[in-house]
Structure 1
Amino acid sequence: MAQTVNVNFRMDSALKQQMDSICEELGMSLTTAFTIFARKVCREKKIPFEVSVDPFYSKENMDRLRRSIAQMEATGGTIHEVDNA
């Protein structure tokens, strides 16, 4: 049998509670869930789901939003509501 080791990391307590609850519903422990994840990563040599950045928060978009806000504030612009009638 392989030797086991402890792995420690931090996460938000609400996230951990949710994860514990879901693992319990699935009939497994949090340790088992992370072991499954680790085995899949090792087997496939990749994260087993897509990891991406929301393009809305890209540097270019955030810079554009800042410029737009500055322009609106400098010209006294306002936000207009759209009439969907």
Structure 2
Amino acid sequence: MAKSANLYARIEPEVKEQAEKILSTLGIPASNAINMFYKQIILHRGLPFEVKIPDRTPTDISMLGTEELHAELEKGYVDMKAGRTKDAKTVFADIRKDYSL
């Protein structure tokens, strides 16, 4: 189908720059990425990803004091002992499987 519709959008310059750098690395022009995004909206009958406020934001360890860092490490250790973690080999195998890599 011929492309004849125009889309004009205002976005933050830093967001545009970062996204276009990644798209360039992938060899995908921004217009193609936007077209793919719109097609996914149609296929999903909505946004092709979940939009919500995360239950917990990732911890930036560079911003933690010594006591806070130790508390976070302790949480990870407790999770590991309780079997709530996966080793890196399993995680990467799952990613390869899920994304057919």
Could you tell me the TM-score, scaled by structure 2's length?
0.50
Gaps of 5+ in 2: 57-66, 71-101
**Larger Rg, first or second structure (1 or 2):** 1
Shift of 1:55: 6.4
Establish whether residue 46 from structure 1 lines up as the match of residue 46 from structure 2: yes
* 1:16 aligned counterpart, secondary structure: helix
Give CA-to-partner distance per residue, 1:1-40, whole Å, 9 cap, x none: 3351110010110110001100001111111111100001
What is the 5 A alignment of 1:5-84?
5-54=5-54
Change (3 A) 1:21 1:54: same
What TM-score, normalized by structure 1, do the two folds share? 0.59
Q: Tell me: CA distance 1:3–1:36, structure 2 relative to 1, closer, same or farther (3 Å).
A: closer
Change in CA separation of 1:3 and 1:28 when aligned onto 2, cut-off 3 Å: closer
- State how far apart, in whole Å, the 1-side matches of 2:31 and 2:17 are: 14
SS in 1 for 2:5: coil
Runs of 4+ in 1 over 4 A off after TM superposition: none
Count residues in correspondence: 58
Q: Once superposed, what is the RMSD of the aligned Cα atoms?
A: 2.0
